[in-house]
Structure 1
């Protein structure tokens, strides 16, 4: 195992050293190190009381927020986390609550839900830490709780956006919602529609010999289009002493892609091969969820119910055909239905310095999959037999837990949780079988505040991952001429995750967070060879990942009033024993480094904001038994300006990569596989896409 280097650790701690150093100049030191202003100042950082900071609406006056999403995005040192994409409800929790309850939805992101709450209906926003956060959302060290006014007024919001690309096409988007009272209940209806993607990727690709000489090359053209529409409905209120929340959503989307690559031999004027293909896909997705909450024998009881389904139909066609010869195409057609049903019952009660929560969850997930790989001339196709081309997979999972959020002292809090998970996976078809698992999932988190503005955190937990049921059946990427077999022997990966973190807050908005993480995997998922010479997703016994995160919000008012710098940097490294070469290598498909930062300048008196941002990352690698793929680092940047000078209306104009962006991929083929180290050929692909501009106009009514 490789350990975190001193250099990496020094990088993670450098911001704290800078903030604590007087050598930055007296003006900067005065801004950065001053104690938190008194909470009587309406726009000061609220004092921390019993693990809670209460942000009154006046705190957000300088940005004139229209929705709760605008307000939450303004909380310093807080980033919205939608939770993990896992089965069930408890493990998929995000870090935002509304009136003390998490939204009973897994299809919708938290930012969209908050975007349907008018700012005028928000009474206050709470930022909770340590045991205060764990008491409302076990497992979360930092959460936001949006409290709405009891006398919500009927109101709505609308948003229209036009996004243009260099080719001249314009992508429209509309997003509108309306909240009203009916019979004592708040009712919010929303509608979204967007032409999401009109990207054209233009470039070239070629094949290099082991001597690094092009044996063929030529232009490529990859055009992608997608669109969707979604309707939502949410209802909340009280019947007697019972608090009720309910929501529903329905979405339909379409995707299509058409690509072509023309290959020329060296010094030739006519092509010798034309590669071409197309993809078509449709998605239908619905969800219904809700919860009931009331006092039961001195405990707060809550029953949450959720039902959701997704139906996908996809067709992927590709051919690599020499000019003048009969054409041959490969086609993979798949039709799948994913369903999930969840019921979760919890009870919580405060006992002195302890907040106890206990309960259980029952979840059912299923996949009905039909897939066919066929070959033909583009019109007539013959299906190739497959032993797992059609299958049904289902999982029944039960979970019981108990958690304790304990305030040992005003400076020290401790949260501990013990969860037991029982699951049974059944699969029908030629590879049908049934398997059962049991996993204990302990978690412990501690937060220590030795003095004002400083917080230290330690977290240790065991996480059980989510199996993608699609991996139990055959799949194909015909554009890369790759097929994956299904694997009925898959086991969920388990991770022991450890984190040590430190946070420094100062002034109204200054905050720096740094953390070091260590993750030990059991049954980590990666591509492995099968006995019939194919490739399938499988488990390797052990793997490890480690690294650090740094994020910052730094006011630069010492330089210019209203100037602020935000950003984050994530560094990861990883290691597993490759099932092909028996040697150590990084994880497949994992991007170890991401950096993004943005600088904003606000002039509240003129209701004007502007900024610029920069992002760098996506240095990904993928390993197959006979191939490796490497995607080069990508860089993006953009700038924007926003005015709220018009009553109840915001106008924002922005650009992203105005000169376009270029990215590349290298695919290396080995003979007979990577174990030999013998390279048969290398494919280099380079593509560019146009820059974009956008005009966003939104308002409230």
Structure 2
């Protein structure tokens, strides 16, 4: 709940920008020869990052001026599809869904990086990429010098909570024969929590009582993975990935109050999950005719049982309670083939075919507490639900330079889906949806680029929306909806990228989308609600990314990064039919950071400011707003060589941000009278975080 970064936002167009190569602090070290960049790429050599003393490729990419890594795994929730991350390694996308760009880069030592090119995605023969893309090129024979182990350890110490000692990753990479091997053990451990009052008001706004609450949220998620890669003498390549993970979640919220007619009241909400998942996948690439054929396969399975329990002890009225438990089994099987070639005239082509089979099996139970302490199940619609999806897609991609300063990429495709659900209102339906993207990159001048894209995107449904669920803590729930339709987003975006020389580099983007069948809360009957499709909606976004180098102002080694976004997602309310913001849509983000690498020392220091905001969640009988009360502010000091490791100590939440939650509950629908309202503010205090990274 309290990750230290709350919900809020703002958006303005930024000007500040990047640290150019020429402005880097001279080190005196002889820089290794780096090839001259082609196709207008902006190239960064290892020497350009020397003042940061990077340990991994991730440390280097994060310091590229004006560039931000797009996080998330390729292919979204299900399937692989086109590339979705803006990072390539040796010109190839990361085709392992269990590994995102940050994770992959963190497992590559800085010594293995030959150079990093920032290129325009429209000029690459990788469908799906637009805007700025980082291509991390490794030195020839990387990994042949014996095994190298990278370590990241990130403990945290928060007030009133358990110390978090187990967050981190260790990975080792090397070569056995001609095969590259990477082994990794990663644990995304969490020890978080917050505390504070929740005020309850009656229908007239008068204070009914104050509930004192304390919540803590613990997680351990160890994942063990292995990756094998080999390039044969004839140029054929293969990759094999295998991974398994255990997820242990334990959340508790304790509330105490004195309530009218009930006396002293104690409340306990507990959520536990005991998940395991595994995945196996690989790809094989070979020369065929005039091009290259790449075959990709993946299988993933997840078993995730969880239990929600809410028990209330009243001084007058005794004990009551409810429990909702659910066991979900998810499976995903993917086969994909890509054939790419280039004509003598310089045109890139790719034909891709993908098939996927996805399943979800849900077994749920809702039960009430009895006087003897046992829970007795209560029948509700949707105890068992099975969802199956058979999906196929085909696409053709064309790309070439239209002029010396203009490149284009056109992708045309179609998706077929057969969707079957056995839950409430379940049935079998078939969809055929065309989709595609046009991307242009125009080098207006030596330092100015304009990127444009026009896209029709078919989004995926959350299979859990087909199943019924109960929120025992808030006394509400959702019915499953077997009539859900995949959303379609028709989107256009215009981006301006400016290299400002020794001052830096900045970008600003404007986007608009006409969205059909977005999923939100809708009435399913006169008395029930659940997830369903909305009428057409309008989505707007303005965003900016920048880095400003302060050397020209006399502050050697200092720079400011900014990431600003403003959004408005306007939808038709299914209850009132008036225009409003999409439930839980992001309104704005302000992310600013300062870093100062003190010249001729191993010391760096800095600070960060983060603020974002989301629109309220509108149910049919309640309006819920989750937010961060104030910005999240950090400060850090870093030493780049402590026995060969980089050690960074951060002091976090300096402005005392609090987690807020407001709720208005109506007697019936939210176009009628109010029943009661609640206002909650929970503190989580200032805390320390230590980050230790290095290679051995």
Same structural fold, with TM-score higher than 0.5 when normalized by the shorter chain: yes
1:393 corresponds to = 387
Alignment of 1:534 onto 2:534: no
Deviations 1:255-309 (A, max 9, x none): 111212223248x9x9443332211111212111211111100111111111111
CA-CA distance at 1:192 after TM superposition: 1.7
Of 406, 413, 426, the match for 1:412: 406
Alignment of 1:243-642 (within 5 A): 243-265=237-259, 271-351=263-343, 352-377=345-370, 379-428=373-422, 431-507=425-501, 510-531=504-525, 533-559=527-553, 560-634=555-629, 635-642=631-638
3-state DSSP of counterpart to 2:518: strand
Q: Distance in 1 between matches of 2:402 and 2:573?
A: 46
* Residue in structure 2 matched with residue 190 of structure 1 by the alignment: 184
Q: Is the 8 A contact 2:632 2:655 kept in 1?
A: no
Q: Taking CA–CA contacts closer than 8 Å with sequence separation of 6 or more, which of the two structures ends up with the larger relative contact order?
A: 2
Paired residue for 1:57? 46
Measure the CA separation in 2 of the matches of 1:253 and 1:247.
20
Which SS does the other structure have where 2:411 is aligned? strand
The secondary structure found in structure 1 opposite 2:47 is helix
Q: Residues of 2 paired with 1:388 and 1:323: CA distance?
A: 35
Superposed CA offset, 1:383-404 (max 9, x none): 1212322111110111110111
Contact 2:626 2:661 survives alignment (8 Å): yes
Structure 1 position 78 matched with structure 2 position 67: yes
Aligned counterparts of 1:157 and 1:485: Cα–Cα separation in 2: 47
Cα offset, 1:431, TM superposition: 4.1
**CA–CA separation in structure 2 for the residues paired with 1:36 and 1:409:** 33
CA deviation profile, 1:370-429 (whole Å, cap 9, x unmatched): 111111138311212123221111101111101111211121111111011001011235
Structure 1 pair 160–282 and aligned structure 2 pair: CA distance change class (3 A): same
2:241 touches 2:282 (CA, 8 Å); kept in 1? Answer: yes
C-alpha distance in 2 between matches for 1:529 and 1:138: 36
Pair 463,530 (structure 1): closer, same or farther in 2 beyond 3 Å: same
Structure 2 Cα separation of the partners of residues 579 and 532 of structure 1: 13
Q: Is the 8 A contact 1:200 1:690 kept in 2?
A: no
In structure 2, C-alpha distance between the alignment counterparts of 1:313 and 1:700, rounded to whole Å: 38
Higher share of residues assigned helix:
1
Q: 2:8 matched to which residue of 1?
A: none
List gaps (5 residues or longer) in structure 2: 1-10
8 Å Cα contact 1:330-1:375 kept in structure 2: yes
Picking from 84, 97, 105, the partner of 1:93 is 84
Of 135, 142, 146, 2:136 maps to 146
Q: Distance in 2 between matches of 1:47 and 1:217?
A: 67
SS at match of 2:671: coil
Determine if contact 1:669/1:679 at 8 Å carries over to the other structure. yes
* Whole-angstrom distance in 2 between the partners of 1:629 and 1:477: 14
Unaligned runs of 5+ in 1: 1-10, 20-27
Aligned counterparts of 1:176 and 1:298: Cα–Cα separation in 2: 41
Using a 3 Å threshold, how does the CA distance of structure 1 residues 471 and 299 change in structure 2: closer, same or farther?
A: same
> Counterpart in 2 of 1:6?
none
Q: TM-score, normalised by structure 1?
A: 0.91
Return the alpha-carbon distance in structure 2 between the equivalents of residues 578 and 463 of structure 1.
Answer: 23
Distance, in Å, in 1 between the alignment partners of 2:243 and 2:503 is 36
Tell me the equivalent position of 1:8. Answer: none
Partner of residue 110, structure 2: 119
Find the aligned partners of 1:45 and 1:577 in 2 and give their Cα distance. 55
Residue 164 (structure 1) shift:
0.7
Superposed CA deviations along residues 14-71 of structure 1, whole A, max 9, x for unmatched, are: 638xx9xxxxxxxx9xx99x9999xx99699998631323322222212121111111
Residue 644 of structure 1 corresponds to which residue in structure 2? Answer: 640
Is the Cα contact below 8 Å between 1:367 and 1:394 reproduced in 2?
Answer: yes
RMSD between aligned residues: 2.8
**What's the secondary structure of 2:69's corresponding residue?**
coil
SS class of match (1:136): coil
Aligned equivalents of 2:365 and 2:31: distance in 1? 63
What's the CA shift for 1:364? Answer: 1.2
Q: Evaluate the alpha carbon distance shift between residue 341 and residue 215 of structure 1 in structure 2; reply closer, same or farther with a 3 A threshold.
A: same
Whole-Å separation in 2 of the counterparts to 1:430 and 1:597 = 46
- CA drift of 1:501 comes to 1.2
Show the 5 A alignment for 1:147-186. 147-151=137-141, 152=143, 153-154=145-146, 155-167=148-160, 169-172=162-165, 173-186=167-180
> Counterpart of 1:490 in 2: which secondary structure?
coil
Q: 1:35 to 1:563 in 2, by over 3 A?
A: closer
Secondary structure class of the residue paired with 1:171: coil
Whether the 8 Å contact between 1:51 and 1:131 is mirrored in structure 2 is no
- Which SS does the other structure have where 2:111 is aligned? helix
Task: After superposing the two structures, state which structure 1 stretch, 207-216 or 390-399, moved more.
Answer: 207-216
Change over 3 Å in CA distance of 1:341–1:192 after alignment to 2: same
Number of paired residues? 674
